[in-house]
């Protein structure tokens, strides 16, 4: 299993909640990377929608996604990204995802159209 993408929480949530674009995520998800910050977002949204912690854990295990700890280097890069992404209103989670994609040299998969024209050294793949 080769890693080909970094997943934004919006992409994984599209799959979980059967939203448009989920078919793109389903194909790319096995072995994909996700920041621990974005995993927190996914878990929070799933719990908000009434799934139990056991259901969340089971589903995330089934996805075979690789969680990457949000370390000091990623924190610095996400902080640096604030000035260049502020005009798009990107959150900490968004910047954590982009920082991981930049560090790993991988494209990022997202449902967030605001990322499509960012001037960053990372390929953004929109799911819809």
* Maximum alpha-carbon separation in the chain: 40
Confidence at residue 106, expressed as pLDDT on a 0 to 100 scale: 97
Buried b (16+ CB within 10 A) or exposed e, 38-67: bbebbbebbeeeebeeeebeebbeebebee
Q: What is the pLDDT of residues 44-91, one digit of tens each?
A: 999 999 999 999 999 999 998 999 999 999 999 999 999 999 999 999
Residue 2 has pLDDT above 80, yes or no: no
Closest CA to 85 of 101, 106, 72, 73: 101
Mean pLDDT over 100-107 rounds to: 98
All domains in the chain, ordered by first residue: 6-126 (3.40.50.1010)
pLDDT, one tens digit per residue, over 4-41 is 999 999 999 999 999 999 999 999 999 999 999 999 99
């Amino acid at each position: 299993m080769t890693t080909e993408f970094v997943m934004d929480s919006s992409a994984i949530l599209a799959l979980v909640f059967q939203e448009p674009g989920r078919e793109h995520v389903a194909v790319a998800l096995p072995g994909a990377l996700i920041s621990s910050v974005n995993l927190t977002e996914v878990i929070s949204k799933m719990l908000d929608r009434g799934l139990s912690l056991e259901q969340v854990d089971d589903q995330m295990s089934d996805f075979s996604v690789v969680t990457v700890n949000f370390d000091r280097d990623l924190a610095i890069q996400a902080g640096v990204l604030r000035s260049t992404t502020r005009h798009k209103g990107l959150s900490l989670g968004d910047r954590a995802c982009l920082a991981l994609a930049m560090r790993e040299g991988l494209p990022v998969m997202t449902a967030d159209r605001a990322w499509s024209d960012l001037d960053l050294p990372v390929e953004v793949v929109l799911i819809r």
